[in-house]
Structure 1
Protein backbone atom coordinates (compact mmCIF):
# COMPACT_ATOMS: atom_id res chain seq x y z
CA UNK A 1 0.00 0.00 0.00
CA UNK A 2 1.22 3.50 -0.84
CA UNK A 3 1.08 5.83 2.15
CA UNK A 4 0.54 9.52 1.58
CA UNK A 5 2.23 11.80 4.08
CA UNK A 6 0.15 13.42 6.79
CA UNK A 7 -0.29 17.09 5.90
CA UNK A 8 -2.56 18.45 8.61
CA UNK A 9 -3.52 17.91 12.25
CA UNK A 10 -6.89 18.92 13.66
CA UNK A 11 -6.86 19.55 17.42
CA UNK A 12 -9.71 19.81 19.86
CA UNK A 13 -9.28 22.53 22.52
CA UNK A 14 -10.92 21.69 25.85
CA UNK A 15 -9.17 18.98 27.87
CA UNK A 16 -6.98 18.25 24.88
CA UNK A 17 -4.70 21.29 24.66
CA UNK A 18 -5.91 23.08 27.78
CA UNK A 19 -7.13 21.77 31.13
CA UNK A 20 -10.64 23.20 31.07
CA UNK A 21 -11.88 20.69 33.65
CA UNK A 22 -9.15 21.65 36.09
CA UNK A 23 -9.79 25.36 35.54
CA UNK A 24 -13.48 24.75 36.17
CA UNK A 25 -12.75 23.07 39.50
CA UNK A 26 -10.73 26.08 40.66
CA UNK A 27 -13.50 28.43 39.53
CA UNK A 28 -16.12 26.44 41.46
CA UNK A 29 -13.97 26.65 44.59
CA UNK A 30 -13.91 30.42 44.24
CA UNK A 31 -17.69 30.58 43.92
CA UNK A 32 -18.10 28.25 46.91
CA UNK A 33 -16.23 30.74 49.08
CA UNK A 34 -18.48 33.54 47.88
CA UNK A 35 -21.62 31.53 48.59
CA UNK A 36 -20.47 30.65 52.10
CA UNK A 37 -20.25 34.33 52.97
CA UNK A 38 -23.49 35.21 51.19
CA UNK A 39 -25.77 32.36 52.27
CA UNK A 40 -25.49 32.60 56.03
CA UNK A 41 -26.96 29.58 57.75
CA UNK A 42 -26.39 27.18 54.88
CA UNK A 43 -23.77 24.52 55.41
CA UNK A 44 -21.11 23.06 53.15
CA UNK A 45 -23.48 20.39 51.83
CA UNK A 46 -25.95 22.99 50.56
CA UNK A 47 -23.18 25.07 48.98
CA UNK A 48 -21.78 21.98 47.29
CA UNK A 49 -25.22 21.05 45.96
CA UNK A 50 -25.69 24.53 44.50
CA UNK A 51 -22.41 24.22 42.62
CA UNK A 52 -23.20 20.67 41.49
CA UNK A 53 -26.58 21.83 40.16
CA UNK A 54 -24.88 24.60 38.18
CA UNK A 55 -22.47 22.09 36.64
CA UNK A 56 -25.40 19.87 35.71
CA UNK A 57 -27.11 22.84 34.06
CA UNK A 58 -23.97 23.46 31.99
CA UNK A 59 -23.98 19.87 30.78
CA UNK A 60 -27.65 20.12 29.77
CA UNK A 61 -27.27 23.56 28.23
CA UNK A 62 -28.53 24.02 24.68
CA UNK A 63 -27.86 27.65 23.87
CA UNK A 64 -29.96 29.22 21.13
CA UNK A 65 -28.97 32.83 20.28
CA UNK A 66 -32.27 33.35 18.46
CA UNK A 67 -34.09 33.28 21.80
CA UNK A 68 -32.81 36.77 22.57
CA UNK A 69 -30.56 36.05 25.55
CA UNK A 70 -26.78 36.20 25.63
CA UNK A 71 -24.75 33.25 26.92
CA UNK A 72 -23.92 35.35 29.98
CA UNK A 73 -27.60 35.92 30.76
CA UNK A 74 -28.36 32.23 30.32
CA UNK A 75 -25.60 31.20 32.71
CA UNK A 76 -26.53 33.81 35.31
CA UNK A 77 -29.92 32.11 35.13
CA UNK A 78 -28.25 28.75 35.81
CA UNK A 79 -26.76 30.12 39.04
CA UNK A 80 -30.03 31.76 40.06
CA UNK A 81 -31.96 28.53 39.58
CA UNK A 82 -29.25 26.51 41.35
CA UNK A 83 -29.34 28.80 44.37
CA UNK A 84 -33.13 28.95 44.54
CA UNK A 85 -33.62 25.18 44.16
CA UNK A 86 -31.09 24.31 46.86
CA UNK A 87 -31.28 27.25 49.27
CA UNK A 88 -34.97 28.02 49.01
CA UNK A 89 -34.45 31.54 47.71
CA UNK A 90 -31.84 33.88 46.28
CA UNK A 91 -31.15 36.53 48.96
CA UNK A 92 -30.21 39.25 46.48
CA UNK A 93 -30.82 39.78 42.80
CA UNK A 94 -27.11 40.31 42.24
CA UNK A 95 -25.80 37.11 43.88
CA UNK A 96 -26.38 34.90 40.85
CA UNK A 97 -24.62 37.46 38.65
CA UNK A 98 -21.71 37.68 41.10
CA UNK A 99 -21.39 33.89 41.10
CA UNK A 100 -21.41 33.67 37.33
CA UNK A 101 -18.87 36.40 36.63
CA UNK A 102 -16.56 35.15 39.39
CA UNK A 103 -16.78 31.64 37.94
CA UNK A 104 -16.19 32.89 34.40
CA UNK A 105 -13.28 35.16 35.32
CA UNK A 106 -11.62 32.57 37.55
CA UNK A 107 -11.89 29.85 34.92
CA UNK A 108 -10.40 32.00 32.16
CA UNK A 109 -7.55 33.07 34.44
CA UNK A 110 -6.64 29.43 35.02
CA UNK A 111 -6.56 28.46 31.35
CA UNK A 112 -3.19 28.31 29.63
CA UNK A 113 -1.08 26.32 27.22
CA UNK A 114 1.68 24.59 29.15
CA UNK A 115 5.22 25.43 27.97
CA UNK A 116 5.57 21.85 26.73
CA UNK A 117 2.40 21.99 24.64
CA UNK A 118 3.35 25.43 23.33
CA UNK A 119 6.70 24.10 22.14
CA UNK A 120 4.99 21.06 20.62
CA UNK A 121 2.54 23.17 18.60
CA UNK A 122 5.30 25.45 17.34
CA UNK A 123 7.36 22.44 16.26
CA UNK A 124 4.41 20.74 14.57
CA UNK A 125 3.44 23.98 12.87
CA UNK A 126 6.76 24.04 11.07
CA UNK A 127 5.90 20.74 9.33
CA UNK A 128 2.13 20.41 9.28
CA UNK A 129 -0.93 22.55 8.82
CA UNK A 130 -2.65 22.94 12.18
CA UNK A 131 -6.33 23.65 12.76
CA UNK A 132 -8.16 24.14 16.04
CA UNK A 133 -11.67 22.63 15.93
CA UNK A 134 -13.76 23.19 19.03
CA UNK A 135 -17.43 22.72 19.78
CA UNK A 136 -19.32 25.23 21.86
CA UNK A 137 -20.93 28.65 21.99
CA UNK A 138 -19.02 31.16 19.90
CA UNK A 139 -18.25 33.82 22.49
CA UNK A 140 -17.30 31.31 25.19
CA UNK A 141 -14.86 29.44 22.98
CA UNK A 142 -13.37 32.57 21.42
CA UNK A 143 -12.75 33.95 24.92
CA UNK A 144 -10.81 30.79 25.77
CA UNK A 145 -8.72 31.11 22.61
CA UNK A 146 -7.85 34.70 23.49
CA UNK A 147 -7.16 33.81 27.13
CA UNK A 148 -4.53 31.22 26.19
CA UNK A 149 -3.12 33.30 23.31
CA UNK A 150 -3.04 30.50 20.77
CA UNK A 151 -4.41 32.24 17.66
CA UNK A 152 -1.07 32.49 15.87
CA UNK A 153 -0.27 28.81 16.40
CA UNK A 154 -2.97 27.62 13.99
CA UNK A 155 -3.59 28.05 10.30
CA UNK A 156 -7.30 28.26 11.10
CA UNK A 157 -9.64 28.16 14.10
CA UNK A 158 -13.14 26.75 13.70
CA UNK A 159 -15.75 27.13 16.45
CA UNK A 160 -18.78 24.87 16.21
CA UNK A 161 -21.16 27.54 17.45
CA UNK A 162 -20.44 29.59 14.33
CA UNK A 163 -21.73 26.86 12.02
CA UNK A 164 -24.98 25.02 11.39
CA UNK A 165 -23.49 21.77 12.71
CA UNK A 166 -20.75 20.84 15.17
CA UNK A 167 -18.58 17.77 15.67
CA UNK A 168 -19.25 14.92 14.98
CA UNK A 169 -21.12 16.09 11.86
CA UNK A 170 -19.25 15.72 8.59
CA UNK A 171 -20.11 19.22 7.37
CA UNK A 172 -17.89 21.01 9.86
CA UNK A 173 -14.98 18.71 9.07
CA UNK A 174 -15.48 19.32 5.36
CA UNK A 175 -15.29 23.05 6.11
CA UNK A 176 -11.98 22.48 7.90
CA UNK A 177 -10.53 20.50 5.00
CA UNK A 178 -11.53 23.28 2.61
CA UNK A 179 -9.90 25.95 4.79
CA UNK A 180 -6.63 24.02 4.83
CA UNK A 181 -6.77 22.91 1.20
CA UNK A 182 -6.38 19.23 2.13
CA UNK A 183 -8.22 15.95 1.75
CA UNK A 184 -9.60 13.94 4.68
CA UNK A 185 -6.90 11.29 4.27
CA UNK A 186 -4.27 14.00 4.70
CA UNK A 187 -5.45 14.68 8.25
CA UNK A 188 -5.20 13.37 11.78
CA UNK A 189 -7.90 14.31 14.33
CA UNK A 190 -6.83 14.65 17.97
CA UNK A 191 -9.24 15.08 20.86
CA UNK A 192 -10.47 13.84 24.24
CA UNK A 193 -14.07 13.03 23.25
CA UNK A 194 -14.96 9.70 21.69
CA UNK A 195 -18.44 10.98 20.82
CA UNK A 196 -17.39 14.17 19.02
CA UNK A 197 -13.69 14.11 18.14
CA UNK A 198 -13.10 10.45 17.36
CA UNK A 199 -16.57 9.76 15.97
CA UNK A 200 -16.42 12.96 13.93
CA UNK A 201 -13.03 12.14 12.50
CA UNK A 202 -14.24 8.65 11.63
CA UNK A 203 -17.38 10.05 10.00
CA UNK A 204 -15.31 12.48 7.94
CA UNK A 205 -12.84 9.84 6.79
CA UNK A 206 -9.64 11.26 8.27
CA UNK A 207 -6.38 9.35 8.04
CA UNK A 208 -6.38 8.56 11.75
CA UNK A 209 -8.13 9.47 15.00
CA UNK A 210 -6.22 10.01 18.23
CA UNK A 211 -8.02 9.80 21.57
CA UNK A 212 -6.62 11.65 24.56
CA UNK A 213 -7.64 9.36 27.42
CA UNK A 214 -7.69 11.74 30.37
CA UNK A 215 -8.50 8.87 32.72
CA UNK A 216 -4.91 7.72 32.30
CA UNK A 217 -5.82 4.19 31.54
CA UNK A 218 -8.52 1.78 30.44
CA UNK A 219 -10.11 1.27 27.09
CA UNK A 220 -12.99 2.89 25.21
CA UNK A 221 -16.44 1.56 26.19
CA UNK A 222 -17.71 -1.27 24.01
CA UNK A 223 -20.42 0.98 22.59
CA UNK A 224 -17.98 3.71 21.53
CA UNK A 225 -16.23 4.20 18.23
CA UNK A 226 -12.68 2.86 18.46
CA UNK A 227 -9.85 5.38 17.98
CA UNK A 228 -6.86 4.44 15.86
CA UNK A 229 -4.54 5.57 18.64
CA UNK A 230 -5.01 6.13 22.36
CA UNK A 231 -2.62 8.30 24.37
CA UNK A 232 -2.79 9.97 27.79
CA UNK A 233 -1.30 13.31 26.75
CA UNK A 234 -1.14 15.32 23.55
CA UNK A 235 2.63 15.43 24.06
CA UNK A 236 2.76 11.86 22.70
CA UNK A 237 1.58 12.98 19.26
CA UNK A 238 5.14 13.00 17.79
CA UNK A 239 5.37 9.23 18.42
CA UNK A 240 2.25 8.67 16.34
CA UNK A 241 3.51 10.90 13.54
CA UNK A 242 6.79 8.98 13.56
CA UNK A 243 4.79 5.79 13.06
CA UNK A 244 3.24 7.29 9.90
CA UNK A 245 6.62 8.46 8.64
CA UNK A 246 8.02 4.97 9.04
CA UNK A 247 5.39 3.67 6.61
CA UNK A 248 5.93 6.29 3.93
Structure 2
Protein backbone atom coordinates (compact mmCIF):
# COMPACT_ATOMS: atom_id res chain seq x y z
CA UNK A 1 0.00 0.00 0.00
CA UNK A 2 1.78 3.15 -1.15
CA UNK A 3 1.54 6.90 -0.85
CA UNK A 4 -0.65 7.03 -3.98
CA UNK A 5 -3.60 6.82 -1.61
CA UNK A 6 -2.94 10.49 -0.87
CA UNK A 7 -3.26 11.70 -4.46
CA UNK A 8 -6.89 12.83 -4.12
CA UNK A 9 -6.63 14.04 -0.53
CA UNK A 10 -7.63 17.65 0.13
CA UNK A 11 -8.26 17.47 3.90
CA UNK A 12 -6.13 16.23 6.81
CA UNK A 13 -7.94 15.62 10.10
CA UNK A 14 -6.00 15.40 13.36
CA UNK A 15 -6.71 14.14 16.83
CA UNK A 16 -5.49 16.39 19.67
CA UNK A 17 -4.44 14.47 22.79
CA UNK A 18 -1.28 12.37 22.41
CA UNK A 19 -1.25 13.12 18.71
CA UNK A 20 -0.51 16.84 18.59
CA UNK A 21 0.06 17.45 22.31
CA UNK A 22 1.62 15.01 24.76
CA UNK A 23 -1.21 14.82 27.27
CA UNK A 24 0.06 11.63 28.91
CA UNK A 25 3.50 13.13 29.38
CA UNK A 26 2.04 16.32 30.84
CA UNK A 27 -0.06 14.24 33.25
CA UNK A 28 3.05 12.39 34.43
CA UNK A 29 5.10 15.54 34.91
CA UNK A 30 2.26 17.16 36.84
CA UNK A 31 1.91 14.12 39.09
CA UNK A 32 5.63 14.27 39.82
CA UNK A 33 5.25 17.86 41.04
CA UNK A 34 2.45 16.79 43.38
CA UNK A 35 4.69 14.00 44.64
CA UNK A 36 7.32 16.60 45.50
CA UNK A 37 4.68 18.76 47.21
CA UNK A 38 3.53 15.86 49.38
CA UNK A 39 7.09 15.02 50.36
CA UNK A 40 7.63 18.66 51.33
CA UNK A 41 4.62 18.24 53.62
CA UNK A 42 6.44 15.34 55.33
CA UNK A 43 4.22 12.69 53.79
CA UNK A 44 6.05 9.38 53.65
CA UNK A 45 7.65 8.77 50.28
CA UNK A 46 5.83 5.47 49.72
CA UNK A 47 2.49 7.03 50.68
CA UNK A 48 3.02 10.00 48.37
CA UNK A 49 4.04 7.73 45.49
CA UNK A 50 1.02 5.51 45.98
CA UNK A 51 -1.31 8.53 45.97
CA UNK A 52 0.04 10.11 42.76
CA UNK A 53 0.13 6.73 41.02
CA UNK A 54 -3.51 6.18 41.96
CA UNK A 55 -4.51 9.60 40.68
CA UNK A 56 -2.63 9.10 37.42
CA UNK A 57 -4.44 5.82 36.92
CA UNK A 58 -7.80 7.38 37.80
CA UNK A 59 -7.44 10.40 35.52
CA UNK A 60 -6.18 8.39 32.58
CA UNK A 61 -9.07 5.94 32.90
CA UNK A 62 -11.86 8.46 33.55
CA UNK A 63 -10.71 12.06 32.89
CA UNK A 64 -14.28 13.27 33.30
CA UNK A 65 -17.48 11.97 34.85
CA UNK A 66 -18.52 9.13 32.49
CA UNK A 67 -22.17 9.64 33.42
CA UNK A 68 -22.16 13.36 32.64
CA UNK A 69 -19.81 14.63 29.93
CA UNK A 70 -21.06 18.18 30.52
CA UNK A 71 -20.30 18.01 34.24
CA UNK A 72 -17.77 20.14 36.12
CA UNK A 73 -14.37 18.74 35.15
CA UNK A 74 -12.57 20.53 38.00
CA UNK A 75 -14.97 19.08 40.57
CA UNK A 76 -14.54 15.60 39.10
CA UNK A 77 -10.74 15.72 39.14
CA UNK A 78 -10.67 17.19 42.64
CA UNK A 79 -12.79 14.24 43.72
CA UNK A 80 -10.26 11.89 42.08
CA UNK A 81 -7.46 13.49 44.11
CA UNK A 82 -9.47 13.03 47.30
CA UNK A 83 -9.93 9.37 46.47
CA UNK A 84 -6.27 8.92 45.60
CA UNK A 85 -5.03 10.65 48.75
CA UNK A 86 -7.45 8.87 51.06
CA UNK A 87 -9.12 10.16 54.25
CA UNK A 88 -5.86 10.94 56.02
CA UNK A 89 -4.61 13.32 53.32
CA UNK A 90 -7.83 14.48 51.69
CA UNK A 91 -7.36 17.98 53.16
CA UNK A 92 -4.43 18.38 50.77
CA UNK A 93 -6.53 17.50 47.71
CA UNK A 94 -7.31 21.11 46.72
CA UNK A 95 -3.63 22.10 46.69
CA UNK A 96 -2.64 18.88 44.95
CA UNK A 97 -5.17 19.49 42.21
CA UNK A 98 -4.14 23.13 41.81
CA UNK A 99 -0.48 22.11 41.39
CA UNK A 100 -1.36 19.28 39.01
CA UNK A 101 -3.58 21.48 36.84
CA UNK A 102 -1.06 24.33 36.61
CA UNK A 103 1.91 22.11 35.70
CA UNK A 104 -0.13 20.02 33.29
CA UNK A 105 -1.47 23.07 31.49
CA UNK A 106 2.02 24.55 31.19
CA UNK A 107 3.30 21.46 29.37
CA UNK A 108 0.40 21.11 26.95
CA UNK A 109 1.90 22.83 23.91
CA UNK A 110 2.49 22.25 20.23
CA UNK A 111 6.03 23.55 20.03
CA UNK A 112 7.58 25.57 17.20
CA UNK A 113 8.37 22.54 15.04
CA UNK A 114 4.82 21.27 15.03
CA UNK A 115 3.44 24.76 14.46
CA UNK A 116 5.70 25.03 11.39
CA UNK A 117 4.46 21.67 10.16
CA UNK A 118 0.80 22.66 10.42
CA UNK A 119 1.45 25.96 8.65
CA UNK A 120 3.21 24.11 5.85
CA UNK A 121 0.39 21.60 5.51
CA UNK A 122 -2.23 24.34 5.46
CA UNK A 123 -0.69 25.77 2.30
CA UNK A 124 -1.91 22.71 0.40
CA UNK A 125 -4.68 21.15 2.50
CA UNK A 126 -7.65 22.06 4.61
CA UNK A 127 -6.92 21.04 8.19
CA UNK A 128 -9.42 19.83 10.77
CA UNK A 129 -9.11 19.01 14.47
CA UNK A 130 -11.45 16.39 15.97
CA UNK A 131 -11.16 15.69 19.68
CA UNK A 132 -13.17 13.73 22.22
CA UNK A 133 -13.91 15.18 25.62
CA UNK A 134 -16.02 17.66 27.57
CA UNK A 135 -16.29 21.05 25.92
CA UNK A 136 -14.73 23.16 28.67
CA UNK A 137 -11.70 20.93 29.22
CA UNK A 138 -10.92 20.49 25.54
CA UNK A 139 -11.40 24.13 24.61
CA UNK A 140 -9.04 25.15 27.41
CA UNK A 141 -6.33 23.11 25.68
CA UNK A 142 -7.36 24.24 22.20
CA UNK A 143 -7.14 27.91 23.15
CA UNK A 144 -3.84 27.39 24.94
CA UNK A 145 -2.17 26.05 21.77
CA UNK A 146 -3.84 28.70 19.58
CA UNK A 147 -5.30 25.95 17.42
CA UNK A 148 -7.51 28.38 15.48
CA UNK A 149 -4.30 29.65 13.85
CA UNK A 150 -3.72 26.28 12.22
CA UNK A 151 -7.09 24.61 11.67
CA UNK A 152 -9.97 25.44 9.38
CA UNK A 153 -12.39 23.47 11.55
CA UNK A 154 -12.24 22.42 15.22
CA UNK A 155 -14.79 19.93 16.54
CA UNK A 156 -15.13 18.84 20.18
CA UNK A 157 -17.34 15.87 20.96
CA UNK A 158 -18.83 17.65 23.95
CA UNK A 159 -20.19 20.33 21.63
CA UNK A 160 -21.72 18.09 18.97
CA UNK A 161 -22.88 15.25 21.25
CA UNK A 162 -21.09 12.67 19.13
CA UNK A 163 -17.69 11.17 19.92
CA UNK A 164 -15.17 9.14 17.99
CA UNK A 165 -15.53 6.37 16.83
CA UNK A 166 -19.05 7.46 15.83
CA UNK A 167 -19.08 8.37 12.13
CA UNK A 168 -21.33 11.32 12.99
CA UNK A 169 -18.48 13.46 14.35
CA UNK A 170 -16.47 12.84 11.19
CA UNK A 171 -19.47 13.61 9.02
CA UNK A 172 -19.81 16.92 10.83
CA UNK A 173 -16.21 17.69 9.87
CA UNK A 174 -16.87 16.74 6.24
CA UNK A 175 -19.88 19.06 6.19
CA UNK A 176 -18.05 22.02 7.68
CA UNK A 177 -15.07 21.53 5.37
CA UNK A 178 -17.26 21.00 2.31
CA UNK A 179 -15.41 17.77 1.54
CA UNK A 180 -16.28 14.15 0.95
CA UNK A 181 -14.92 11.38 3.12
CA UNK A 182 -12.82 10.16 0.19
CA UNK A 183 -10.85 13.39 0.26
CA UNK A 184 -9.90 13.05 3.94
CA UNK A 185 -7.01 11.62 5.94
CA UNK A 186 -7.37 10.94 9.66
CA UNK A 187 -4.25 11.14 11.84
CA UNK A 188 -4.52 9.92 15.43
CA UNK A 189 -2.95 7.86 18.20
CA UNK A 190 -5.90 5.65 19.17
CA UNK A 191 -6.97 2.65 17.15
CA UNK A 192 -10.30 2.32 18.97
CA UNK A 193 -11.45 5.89 18.36
CA UNK A 194 -9.41 7.73 15.72
CA UNK A 195 -8.70 4.88 13.32
CA UNK A 196 -11.89 2.89 13.87
CA UNK A 197 -14.05 5.99 13.57
CA UNK A 198 -12.33 7.18 10.40
CA UNK A 199 -12.75 3.77 8.83
CA UNK A 200 -16.45 3.70 9.74
CA UNK A 201 -16.80 7.16 8.22
CA UNK A 202 -15.09 5.93 5.03
CA UNK A 203 -12.09 8.25 5.16
CA UNK A 204 -9.66 7.73 2.30
CA UNK A 205 -6.60 7.19 4.51
CA UNK A 206 -5.91 6.45 8.17
CA UNK A 207 -2.56 7.21 9.83
CA UNK A 208 -1.80 5.78 13.27
CA UNK A 209 0.67 7.76 15.40
CA UNK A 210 2.43 5.31 17.69
CA UNK A 211 5.96 4.51 18.79
CA UNK A 212 4.99 1.00 19.83
CA UNK A 213 6.73 -2.02 18.31
CA UNK A 214 3.45 -3.41 17.00
CA UNK A 215 3.29 -3.88 13.24
CA UNK A 216 0.25 -3.04 11.17
CA UNK A 217 -0.38 -6.76 10.74
CA UNK A 218 -0.72 -7.18 14.51
CA UNK A 219 -3.28 -4.48 15.31
CA UNK A 220 -7.01 -4.09 14.87
CA UNK A 221 -8.48 -2.13 13.32
CA UNK A 222 -5.65 -1.95 10.82
CA UNK A 223 -4.71 1.57 9.72
CA UNK A 224 -3.23 2.31 6.31
CA UNK A 225 -0.01 3.72 7.73
CA UNK A 226 1.87 3.95 11.01
CA UNK A 227 4.22 6.79 11.98
CA UNK A 228 6.18 7.48 15.16
CA UNK A 229 5.61 11.24 15.02
CA UNK A 230 3.14 13.45 13.23
CA UNK A 231 6.04 14.98 11.29
CA UNK A 232 6.48 11.72 9.40
CA UNK A 233 3.25 12.17 7.48
CA UNK A 234 5.27 14.45 5.18
CA UNK A 235 7.00 11.32 3.91
CA UNK A 236 3.62 9.96 2.83
CA UNK A 237 2.33 13.01 0.98
CA UNK A 238 2.82 13.48 -2.78
CA UNK A 239 6.10 15.15 -3.69
CA UNK A 240 4.19 17.38 -6.07
CA UNK A 241 2.90 19.31 -3.05
CA UNK A 242 6.37 20.81 -2.72
CA UNK A 243 6.84 21.05 1.04
CA UNK A 244 9.93 22.99 2.04
CA UNK A 245 13.09 21.09 2.92
CA UNK A 246 13.24 23.12 6.13
CA UNK A 247 9.96 21.64 7.30
CA UNK A 248 10.86 18.11 6.22
CA UNK A 249 14.20 18.16 7.99
CA UNK A 250 13.14 19.53 11.35
CA UNK A 251 12.45 17.27 14.31
CA UNK A 252 9.74 17.47 16.93
CA UNK A 253 11.94 18.21 19.91
CA UNK A 254 9.14 19.48 22.14
CA UNK A 255 6.89 16.50 21.50
CA UNK A 256 9.15 13.83 22.98
CA UNK A 257 8.04 10.27 22.34
CA UNK A 258 5.65 8.70 24.82
CA UNK A 259 7.94 5.70 25.03
CA UNK A 260 10.91 7.86 26.07
CA UNK A 261 8.68 9.72 28.50
CA UNK A 262 7.43 6.48 29.99
CA UNK A 263 11.01 5.27 30.50
CA UNK A 264 11.85 8.48 32.36
CA UNK A 265 8.72 8.08 34.50
CA UNK A 266 9.71 4.56 35.48
CA UNK A 267 13.24 5.75 36.22
CA UNK A 268 11.97 8.53 38.48
CA UNK A 269 9.83 6.05 40.36
The TM-score range, normalised by the shorter chain, is 0.7 to 0.9
3-state SS, counterpart of residue 236 of structure 2: helix
TM-score by length of 2: 0.81
Q: Does 1:174 align with 2:171?
A: yes
Aligned to 1:82: 84
Q: Does 1:230 align with 2:230?
A: no
3-state SS, counterpart of residue 209 of structure 1: strand
The Cα shift of 1:108 comes to: 0.8
Aligned to 1:71: 73
Unaligned runs of 5+ residues in structure 2 are 242-269
Moved more, 54-63 or 100-109: 54-63
The Cα shift of 1:202 comes to: 0.6
Rounded to whole Å, the distance in 2 between the matches of 1:119 and 1:15 is 18
Moved more, 3-12 or 21-30: 3-12
Q: Does 1:142 align with 2:139?
A: yes
Partners of 1:63 and 1:137 within 8 A in 2:
no
The Cα shift of 1:36 comes to: 1.5
Rounded to whole Å, the distance in 2 between the matches of 1:209 and 1:7 is 14
Q: Deviations over 1:160-192 (max 9, x none)?
A: 122222001111111111110100000000011
Partners of 2:165 and 2:194 within 8 A in 1:
yes
Q: How many residues align?
A: 237
Aligned to 2:35: 32
Partners of 2:155 and 2:173 within 8 A in 1:
yes
Aligned CA RMSD, in angstroms, stands at: 2.4
The Cα shift of 1:58 comes to: 1.6
The Cα shift of 1:136 comes to: 1.2
The Cα shift of 1:143 comes to: 0.9
Rounded to whole Å, the distance in 2 between the matches of 1:44 and 1:2 is 53
Rounded to whole Å, the distance in 2 between the matches of 1:238 and 1:67 is 35
Q: Deviations over 1:40-87 (max 9, x none)?
A: 3x4222211111111222233252685995110111000001111xxx
Moved more, 169-178 or 139-148: 139-148
Unaligned runs of 5+ residues in structure 1 are none
Alignment CA distance shift 1:91-1:157 (3 Å): closer
The Cα shift of 1:112 comes to: 1.3
Partners of 1:109 and 1:147 within 8 A in 2:
no
